[in-house]
Amino acid sequence: MEQDILRTLISEEQLHQKVAQIGKQVSADYQDKNLLMVSVLKGSVVFMADLMREISIPCEIDFMCVSSYGSGTKTSGVVKIIKDLDIDLKDRDLLIVEDILDSGMTLSYIKEMLKQRGTKSIKICTLLDKPERRKADITPDYVGFTVPDEFVVGYGLDYDEKYRNLPYVGILKPEVYTKAVM
Ligand code: IMP
Ligand code: MG
């Protein structure tokens, strides 16, 4: 696994510090609200698991699974719901927890869809942001790190379902995915 990584982009220590900082901020901002953290599977599970433990106010969690990528590295723009949320969203203050905001196509679709269900508010918390690649009109409310336009893996992020278990965020060697296409 390690031999496919070009270099570490964000270390475990940097991740830990940033997640703690976001957790404090969210706890303060949602003190008098009805916080429901929504994790978009599977990429955000590691971030979600760490972030929720840095939240000091009552909150609930739920999960949804959508697919927009297949096994490539560029988004298709087509979002398919594979698993929907279970909790009633009426009057809830939603915080959508994402691994990475890239084109933003996936998240803008999800946000619009969830808005229709009587939510009180919806905000977006993304660990990584790749603003250079943005196509949809969407701005995250909480951002961990702004990253360059390179394909990154680890801390939940995958390439072809692999590397999610790396404890840090690393840049994948381009030959790993160019090889797969040929
Ligand atoms: P978007 O709809 O283009 O914003 O795509 C968002 C999704 O694409 C993320 O939730 C990731 O699953 C995936 N993605 C985008 N960029 C990367 C990357 O650099 N590494 C791994 N997955 C990525
Ligand atoms: Mg993915």
- CATH code of 47's domain: 3.40.50.2020
Classify residue 97: in a domain, yes or no: yes
Half-sphere exposure in the Cβ direction for 111 (13 Å, CA): 21
Q: List the pLDDT tens digit at each of the 182 positions of the chain.
A: 889 999 999 999 999 999 999 999 999 999 999 999 999 999 999 999 999 999 999 999 999 998 765 555 555 566 889 999 999 999 999 999 999 999 998 899 999 999 999 999 999 999 999 999 999 999 999 999 999 999 999 999 999 999 999 999 999 999 998 876 55
Classify residue 179: in a domain, yes or no: no
Counted domains in the chain = 1
Classify residue 158: in a domain, yes or no: no
Cα-to-centroid distance, 175 and ligand 1 (Å): 19
Q: Which domain holds residue 17?
A: 12-149
Classify residue 108: in a domain, yes or no: yes
105 lines ligand 1 (CB under 6 A): yes
Nearest CA to ligand 1 atom 10: 100
Classify residue 144: in a domain, yes or no: yes
Give the global pTM.
Answer: 0.92
Of 63, 68, 100, best ligand 1 pocket probe by most atoms within 8 Å of the beta carbon: 100
Number of the ligand closest to the Cα of 128: 1
Classify residue 57: in a domain, yes or no: yes
Classify residue 45: in a domain, yes or no: yes
Cα-to-centroid distance, 101 and ligand 1 (Å): 6
